[in-house]
Every structure is written in structure tokens, then in C-alpha cells.
């Protein structure tokens, strides 16, 4: 069984400390819900696990199946079976969605998939996700609606069959029906034993997919680890109880309080 172990992980970007000692373990077959206020390091954690070059790890380790993955490149991490469904997927004009997927799929196979079998896989998966087939034949994410981008991330996950999938706000921008479709796909993948670490701000998706554990990240650290009562409580009352009951001060996002941006290159003092 695959296990992703994050141990005392510290990371920063542009001189700003974002992760301050994250400890978290996710096993294949588990679904872990990750919550936390805006700007507290959830997406950063995912980016660091995948090896985004903007982030520097200053301490700690990320172990996947007994291998320290921080020293290997992103594509190797992906080939080991870790997948990231991004919060804001980039548009890549000129790269055809299905070509990109086929290249990624073939990179982890000994023999390239045949055109016929790949077509069948795309046809079947687009039907299961209720997305138009032409999404596969267009440039990656270019001109996709918000909901299409999110479903395309799930589409990639289905094709690549990772052992552990990190899904970052996969529910944002999905209409009610699309949310149900995505939840049904996740449930099927859970039955196959896939492991999930899923960021969402809302209980709605979690109510559908029933996470096995809920963890909360505050100030770049996991401060709570428990059952569904945690995401239900946060959904109803917010994060105030973390301060009143656990005594943890919740840092506000660092903002330049005295300036407002009035365009791309001009700033006005107020
Ligand atoms: N590349 C970067 N350079 C500088 N600061 C960054 C960078 N990436 C993230 N940050 C900052 O680190 C903090 C954590 O960001 P992150 O995106 O991880 O938050 P989050 O918990 O995912 O928030 P949200 O719920 O809004 O998605 C924020 O203050 C953000 O501005
Ligand atoms: Mg985020």
C-alpha cells in the first residue's frame, strides 16, 4: 500500500515563510479533507509536494513509499503515482489536451498505448465525466469555462490513475450537477483504493464523498486531525473555535494595508 508522508515540512517563497512544520500522512485508500482559511498554505503544500520551482524547502521531508521525493524532479514524482489537480489550471495554447495526456500516459508505460485504445479511453472517460469529447481535442484549458477546467483536472486524474491524488478546490466553479458527477467519479476511485487529499472550503463536496479524516491547516501547520465533525463545524461556524478552544492565533493574510493598487505598475498611497 502506498503512503505519502510529510514530515516537519518548512517551505518559503520569495523570502516569505509559508509552511511552518507540516506533519501529515496519507495512505492509499484514505480520503483526507484539508481545510484552512485563505492564505494559510494549503495550495503551497500541494505545490511543494509536486516540486514547484517557486518554493524552497528549508526543512523536513516528503516520503512516498520509503523514497524521499524532494530530490527528484516533478515528472518523476508524477510517475511514482502522485497527481495534482490544480486550484487554477494554466491555459496552454497550442498544446492539444489529448496529445498532452497521451504523452503523460505513455511516459509511464513500457509500450505506448495504441491510437485505438487511447481513443476508446478518451471516449469512455469523457462520457463518464459528462464532458464534451471536443474538450479533449482543444488546446489545454484554453477558453475552457471554470467548471470545464476543473472537470478536465479530474479527466487527467482518471487517465493517469495515480495512487494518491491531491485535489485543490476541485469543487470551485462546478454547478450542482457537475459537482455530483465529480463526486461520483471520486467515489468510484475511492472504491478502487485510490488515496485522496482534497482541499475544499465547503462541506458540500465532503458530504458527498465522505472523507475518512479531516485535517485543518493554520499558519502553515496542521493543527487539527479528526473526523467529519470538523468540516461540518467549520462549515457552520467558521474558524473562530480554533482560537477560542485551541488557543491558536489565526494570522491574517499579510496585506499592505496602506497602499492600494491602481493598475499593473502604479501604486497610490492612501
Ligand atoms: N510563489 C509565491 N510567492 C510569494 N508568496 C506566495 C507564493 N505562493 C504563495 N504565496 C503566499 O503564501 C500564502 C499561502 O498561499 P496559498 O496559496 O498556499 O494559500 P491557500 O491556503 O491555498 O489559500 P486559499 O484558500 O485562498 O486558496 C499566501 O499569503 C500567498 O500569497
Ligand atoms: Mg489555495
pLDDT digit string (tens) for 106-120?
999 999 999 999 999
Q: Which atom of ligand 1 is nearest to the CA of 87?
A: 27
Cα–chain center distance at 80: 17
Residue to mutate, 11, 13, 36, ligand 1, most ligand atoms under 8 Å from C-beta:
13
Give the three-state DSSP class for 35.
strand
Mean pLDDT of the chain: 92
87 Cβ contact partners less than 8 Å away, ≥ 6 residues apart? 43, 168, 169, 172, 199
The pLDDT, as a whole number, for residue 105 is 95
The pLDDT, as a whole number, for residue 253 is 63
In CATH terms, is domain 3-91+161-269 a member of 3.40.50.300? Answer: yes
- Strand 82-85 and strand 67-68: the pairing is unpaired
Separation of CA 119 and ligand 2 centre (Å)? 34
Domain ranges, ordered by start, for the chain: 3-91+161-269
Q: CA 50 to CA 35: how far, in whole Å?
A: 19
Separation of CA 173 and ligand 1 centre (Å)? 19
pLDDT in tens, 135-165: 999 999 999 999 999 999 999 999 999 999 9
The pLDDT, as a whole number, for residue 196 is 98
Which residue's alpha carbon is nearest to atom 2 within ligand 1? 13
Residues of the chain with pLDDT under 70: 253-270
Amino acid at each position: 500500500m502506498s503512503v505519502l508522508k510529510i514530515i516537519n515540512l518548512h517551505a518559503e517563497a520569495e523570502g516569505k515563510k509559508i509552511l511552518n512544520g507540516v506533519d501529515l500522512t496519507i495512505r492509499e485508500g484514505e480520503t483526507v479533507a484539508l481545510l484552512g482559511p485563505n492564505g494559510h498554505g494549503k495550495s503551497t503544500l500541494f505545490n511543494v509536494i509536486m516540486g514547484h520551482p517557486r518554493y524552497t524547502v528549508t526543512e523536513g521531508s516528503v516520503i512516498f513509499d520509503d523514497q524521499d521525493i524532494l530530490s527528484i524532479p516533478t515528472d518523476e514524482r508524477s510517475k511514482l503515482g502522485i497527481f495534482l489537480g490544480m486550484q487554477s489550471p494554466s491555459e496552454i495554447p497550442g498544446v492539444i489536451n489529448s496529445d498532452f495526456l497521451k504523452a503523460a500516459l505513455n511516459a509511464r508505460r513500457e509500450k505506448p498505448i495504441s491510437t485505438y485504445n487511447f481513443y476508446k479511453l478518451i471516449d469512455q472517460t469523457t462520457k463518464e465525466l459528462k464532458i464534451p469529447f471536443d474538450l479533449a481535442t482543444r488546446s489545454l484549458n484554453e477558453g475552457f469555462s471554470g467548471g470545464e477546467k476543473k472537470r478536465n483536472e479530474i479527466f487527467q486524474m482518471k487517465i493517469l490513475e495515480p495512487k494518491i491524488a491531491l485535489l485543490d478546490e476541485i469543487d470551485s466553479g462546478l454547478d450542482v450537477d457537475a459537482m455530483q458527477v465529480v463526486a461520483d467519479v471520486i467515489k468510484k476511485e475511492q472504491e478502487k483504493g485510490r488515496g485522496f487529499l482534497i482541499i475544499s472550503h465547503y462541506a458540500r463536496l465532503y458530504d458527498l464523498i465522505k472523507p475518512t479524516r479531516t485535517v485543518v491547516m493554520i499558519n502553515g501547520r496542521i493543527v487539527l486531525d479528526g473526523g467529519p465533525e470538523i468540516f461540518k463545524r467549520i462549515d457552520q461556524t467558521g474558524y473562530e473555535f480554533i482560537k477560542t478552544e485551541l488557543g491558536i492565533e489565526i494570522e491574517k493574510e499579510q496585506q499592505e494595508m496602506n497602499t492600494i493598487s491602481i493598475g499593473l505598475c502604479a501604486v497610490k498611497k492612501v
